[in-house]
Amino acid sequence: MDRKMGFDNELYLKLQSKKILERIKMFHNKLYLEFGGKLFDDLHAARVLPGFDPNIKTKLLMKLKDKAEIIFCISANDIEKNKIRADLGLSYDNEMLRIIDNLRALGLYVSSIIITLYKGQPGATKFAQKLEQHGEKVYFHRYTKGYPNEVDTIVSDEGYGANPYIETTRPLVIVTAPGPSSGKLATCLSQMYHDYKRGIKAGYAKFETFPVWNLPLKHPVNIAYESATADLKDVNQIDPYHFNAYGELSVNYNRDIEVFPVLKNILKKITGEEVYKSPTDMGVNMVASAIIDEKVVEEAAKKEIVRRYLKAECDYKRGLATFDTVERTKYLMAELDLNPDFLKVVSASKQMSKDSGYPCVALQLANGEIVYGKNKKIISASGAVVLNALRSVAGMGDDFDIISDDILMPIVKLRTDILHYKNGVLTLDDVLVALAISSYSNEKAKRALDKLADLLGCEAHSTYILSPQEEQSLKNLGINITCEPVFLNNNLYEN
């Protein structure tokens, strides 16, 4: 059964590229566009907007390829702390390098890298040296003197003027980063300051997918964004400046609304005129216009809100989230009268675990069927549920002759007798490798392996907290995995 789509990518590309081109013309063909969110793998957007291409922003850049160059910002503090992007398990610095490589492989022009909030951090200095040895143009931006209240100091040679000027050659300068709070806005404004001193009347705009300004404040898509950023304490609000200026309701988030009076004054100081009347005016987001099935999108967003709550519960159990974050996600779930059982796999997995006496993972296929995997002696629950799902979508029913013991048992022996793992249970990665090997000579294994793509977008729930490795492997298959906030055992260290 095909999954229902709620979002039209082609329509979005057409509308979004047109909007950006209009904004470039508004500023005499020189625009610094702050690019929020993810350039690649925007999995949150893909989950709440079924049909949304997680790499749509890159395709948008390809449409604007001849007009655009890209500047990357990364905070020296994030480099120093080895901050991790949770959805991919990559540090911010490595994620940035990955994105740059991918963009250049597509023929897009990445001109320079800025290390922001720099104050001599050793890790940031070392990272810059590594980049320079690869021939990259690297710049350092320090804290802006006078920010946020002393506008005359900020917009002066002591403030933005103290930052090095980055020579840009194209009308659209995309300023992006591997994560939030990386100094994108300050970079845009610093560049504008230098441009105006040189007689270049550049402009600024902001492109973020969420919150969606022209959807209702309490629309599930916007609440899902709040849930995704609960750790940052982002709160969606009606933009009061937009309402006062135009009498229209629009949605923005607290940080943009709070900083707008300062930003408005800074822009006026740089340009000599009032540029925008509201935070909403700054945006170029056309997402709402590409939603083609409201009910599909609402359902998907509600599922994401529940997933975010379950993730927060598990992160709290692991010591990776605060109790406030858990409470915030729980409150947002309650706003729409949701509970974890809104995901059918949650109650299904718990019931199977209760009936069988084993830890369990339940997975719902696209046709609604729920399959199970139990954590037994040889294969983990994650490995078992994926095998059972592949049997089902390949039309093999309960036929278990996919991977022979002749392949599985040597792997178990390798783990226990040679690598000295305490746990001989085969992980999902082990199972997939064994399946790939079996596919060479086993037609059933080949049929199953060919169906891996059918698991994309499936919901799954585990009755225990999975290891980071297995959780990431399920995500790599495109499976939306959630867990109960319960450890499999009381071991402090697993191997």
AA letter at 121: Q
Nearest to 192 by CA among 279, 271, 280: 271
Domains of the chain, start order: 9-290 (3.10.630.10), 343-483 (3.40.140.40)
Q: Which helix (H) or strand (E) holds 372?
A: strand 370-374
Residue 424 has a pLDDT of: 76
Output phi, psi for 65, to 5 deg: -50, -45
**Section 124-138 average pLDDT:** 96
* Lowest mean pLDDT, pick from 92-101, 111-120, 155-164, 413-422: 413-422
| Full 3-state SS string of 346-381 | HHHHHHHHHHHCCCEEEEECCCCCEEEEECCCCECH
**Section 240-254 average pLDDT:** 97
pLDDT band at 250, cuts 50/70/90? very high
Residue 109 DSSP label: -
What is the edge-to-edge ordering of all strands in the sheet holding 480-483?
370-374, 360-364, 459-462, 480-483
- Residues 295, 304: contact at Cβ < 8 Å? no
| Residue 494 pLDDT > 90 | no
Residue 52 DSSP label: -
Q: Which residue has the higher pLDDT, 488 or 331?
A: 331
**Section 380-402 average pLDDT:** 88
Using DSSP bridges, classify how beta strands 172-176 and 68-75 pair: parallel, antiparallel or unpaired: parallel
| Residue 492 pLDDT > 70 | no
Q: Which residue has the higher pLDDT, 129 or 491?
A: 129
Q: How far apart are CA 379 and CA 239, in angstroms?
A: 52
Give percent above pLDDT 70 in the chain: 97
CA 55, 56, 62, 68 torsion-angle sign: negative
pTM, two decimal places: 0.91
- Residues 393, 437: contact at Cβ < 8 Å? no
Q: How far apart are CA 23 and CA 195, in angstroms?
A: 18
Within 13 Å of residue 56, how many CA atoms lie on the same side as its CB? 28
* Lowest mean pLDDT, pick from 259-273, 386-400, 438-452, 472-486: 386-400
| Residue 384 pLDDT > 90 | yes
**Section 391-396 average pLDDT:** 92
pLDDT band at 422, cuts 50/70/90? confident
| Residue 399 pLDDT > 70 | no
CA 32, 33, 37, 40 torsion-angle sign: negative
Residue 1 has a pLDDT of: 43
If you compute the radius of gyration of the chain from its CA atoms, what whole number of angstroms results?
25
Residue 417 has a pLDDT of: 80
Q: How far apart are CA 443 and CA 401, in angstroms?
A: 10
- Residues 329, 309: contact at Cβ < 8 Å? yes
**In the numeric block, which tokens belong to residue 382?**
């994650």
60-102 per-position pLDDT tens digit:
999 999 999 999 999 999 999 988 776 667 889 999 999 999 9
Residue 64 has a pLDDT of: 94
Residue 2 has a pLDDT of: 56
Within 13 Å of residue 87, how many CA atoms lie on the same side as its CB? 21
Residue 478 has a pLDDT of: 94
Residue 57 has a pLDDT of: 93
